[in-house]
Amino acid sequence: EVKLVESGGGLLKPGGSLKLSCVASGFTFSNYWMHWVRQAPGKGLEWIGEIEYDGTETNYAPSIKDRFTISRDNAKNTLYLQMSSVRSEDTATYFCTTLGVRGDYWGQGVMVTVSS
Amino acid sequence: DVVLTQTPVAQPVTLGDQASISCRSSQSLVHSNGNTYLEWYLQKPGQSPQLLIYKVSNRFSGVPDRFIGSGSGSDFTLKISRVEPEDLGVYYCFQATHDPTFGGGTKLELK
């Protein structure tokens, strides 16, 4: 059974930092580009970034570029999202996903709330 | 940034009717390799999104044939014939030809 399980969410203040994790199982993690997608409360989906199979290439949405960093550890089947200099508009549920036809796998999401 | 504009924002339907959702892009989604990376996702209430259509008109594994994607260039449509209760939720178009972006979403709801 394919599983993506996010963790690490919570409440933090503006300007703070947080690291999300996503543990994958049931498929060959290292064969997939991985993505983070977020959804603010009551709003639509926003793609925020991706990482290549071995982590050598990353791409980010302008809204989070230079503040967030995506990394992965294929030995641990784990994807990461390091969030820094967070703002209130980063409040959202964060999903990790393979995104796309090779395998449409999604986690259940983890909530991050940025508030003073 | 490529902006995807979906219309309508909400689509009230009667079960058994057809529904149609439009997705227009601010620029062509034809990749230099000739493919058009336009996908459609459905997010049911309380669930993670799920892929329905990839490369404009190809149904993902297990997606019923009442879901039909069409279009080209910068103008795309998702049609759902004979709407069933499990089709209700929010539909998103998504492009991966350029730096990826989602459309704003269309809520398919009962009249």
Q: CA–CA separation, B38 vs A54, rounded Å?
A: 25
Mean pLDDT of chain A: 96
Within 10 angstroms of residue B55's Cβ, the number of other Cβ atoms is: 14
**pLDDT for residue A90:** 98
Q: Which of A33-37, A97-101, B91-95 is predicted least confidently?
A: A97-101
Inter-chain residue contact B102 with A47, CB threshold 8 Å: yes
Q: Is B27 on the interface with A (CB under 8 A)?
A: no
Contacts of B52 in chain A (CB under 8 A): none
Residues B74-97 pLDDT 10s = 999 999 999 999 999 999 999 999
For chains A and B, CB pairs below 8 A equal 51
- Is-contact B83 B91, C-beta < 8 A? no
Which of B51, B58, B99 has the CB atom closest to A104's CB atom?
B51
* Cβ-proximal residues to B2 (8 Å cutoff; 6+ apart), any chain: B25, B26, B27, B29, B95, B97, B98, B99, B101
- Is-contact A20 A94, C-beta < 8 A? yes
Q: Is B44 on the interface with A (CB under 8 A)?
A: no
